[in-house]
Amino acid sequence: MVNRPEIRVADDREALAQMAAEEFALRADEAIRAKGAFAVALSGGSTPKELYARLASERQPFRDRIAWNKVHFFWGDERHVPPDDPQSNFRMAQETMLSKLPIPADNIHRILAEKADAADAAAAYEQTLREFFRPPAGEWPRFDLVLLGLGPEGHTASLFPGNTVASDPSRWVAAPWVEKFHTYRITLTPAVLNHADQAMFLVAGADKAEIVSEVIQGADRPEELPAQAIRPVSGRLIWLLDRAAASKLS
Ligand code: 6PG
């Protein structure tokens, strides 16, 4: 990495979820005060589950603190499956958070990953983004916050090593074939992710320590480590790590 991003380390997974929830709430308050809305792209996988549960929990302040009717939910990526599939990132967010909060249905902008052709799902999502953000010609959609995870081989969203499709500079949403999982995925492209006001990685566990160290402090090789392609053009890049995931940072 050329410029070292902001790194915050929490003692454990619970403290990490708390730290992420506080940051989510801060960014939401800020965007809603400034623009009357907060557009966030959720990440999938397992790590963010505790964050989502905490945001929706009746035992936590976030449920009452955030103006949920002004929050618009998008996804950074989705598996090529229907929304009720156990693999669906939408289903995970729906079950852990969205179904428990007073969120208008129109504020949930899921990727239509049930479409037979993943490329059609990507094209449809690009249209969804265009209709919501309405950027000037040649401009990019600007998320207020993009949540990102990190895979053991350095992928983020569904940007995997060797994916050329997702690196097309003109595309907002791509549908790369992911050999590792022998399936198509739908993903926001690095260009869209990098135009967010804030990109925030959420990574936990000792099994991620090596890849965290390689991505943040290792040689710059975004083709092999797509997480290194996340370099906000003008926004902030924050890594929220638990102590185990940060254990190999020098
Ligand atoms: C997905 C995610 C993916 C995830 C990483 C980390 O669709 O799986 O978007 O990029 O964030 O694979 O996943 P874990 O949190 O499960 O380790």
DSSP assignments along 7-46, one per residue: EEEESSHHHHHHHHHHHHHHHHHHHHHHHS-EEEEEP-SS
Ligand 1 contact, 45 CB (< 6 A)? yes
- pLDDT by residue for the chain (250 residues), tens only, comes to 445 689 999 999 999 999 999 999 999 999 999 999 999 999 999 999 999 999 999 999 999 999 999 999 999 999 999 999 999 999 999 999 999 999 999 999 999 999 999 999 999 999 999 999 999 999 999 999 999 999 999 999 999 998 877 667 789 999 999 999 999 999 999 999 999 999 999 999 999 999 999 999 999 999 999 999 999 999 999 999 999 999 999 9
**CB contact at 8 A, 47 and 88:** no
Q: pTM of the predicted model, to two decimals?
A: 0.97
CA 34–ligand 1 middle distance (angstroms): 31
Q: 101 alpha carbon to ligand 1 midpoint, in Å?
A: 23
Six token digits for residue 173? 């949403």
User: What percent helix, strand, coil does the chain show, rounded to 5?
Assistant: 35, 20, 45
CA of 138 to the centre of ligand 1 (A): 30
Counting from 1 in the atom list of ligand 1, the atom nearest the Cα of 157 is 10
- Supply the pLDDT for residue 2: 46
Best residue for ligand 1 mutational test, from 150, 203, 230 (most atoms within 8 Å of Cβ): 150
What is the assigned CATH class of domain 6-242? alpha beta
* 129 phi-psi bin (left φ>0, alpha ψ -120 to 50, beta other): alpha
Q: Is the CB of 77 under 6 A from ligand 1?
A: yes
Given this model, what pLDDT does residue 4 score?
62
Distance 224 CA to ligand 1 centre (A): 17
Atom 7, ligand 1: which residue's CA is nearest?
44
By residue count, the chain amounts to: 250
SS3 of 7, please? strand
Q: How is residue 159 annotated by DSSP?
A: B
Task: Report CA 149 to chain centroid distance, whole Å.
Answer: 7
Alpha carbon distance 235, 218 (integer Å): 22
CA of 151 to the centre of ligand 1 (A): 6
Cβ–ligand 1 distance for 47 under 6 Å, the answer: yes
| Ligand 1 center from residue 50 Cα (angstroms) | 13
Ligand 1 center–CA 31 separation, angstroms: 26
Residue nearest to atom 8 of ligand 1 (CA): 45
- Taking alpha carbons only, the member of 151, 91, 79 closest to residue 122 is 79
Q: What is the largest CA-CA distance in the chain?
A: 46
Mutate to test the pocket of ligand 1, among 16, 51, 147, 156 (most ligand atoms within 8 A of CB): 156
- Report which DSSP code applies to 207: G
Domain segments of the chain as ranges: 6-242
Alpha-carbon distance of 10 to 149, in angstroms, equals: 16
In the chain, the amino acid numbered 4 is: R
Whether ligand 1 lies within 6 angstroms of the CB of 44 is answered as yes
Q: Of all protein residues, whose CA lies closest to atom 10 belonging to ligand 1? A: 157
Complete DSSP assignment for 106-120: GGB----TTSSSHHH
Nearest to 97 by CA among 54, 131, 61, 129: 54
| d(CA 89, ligand 1 centre) in Å | 9
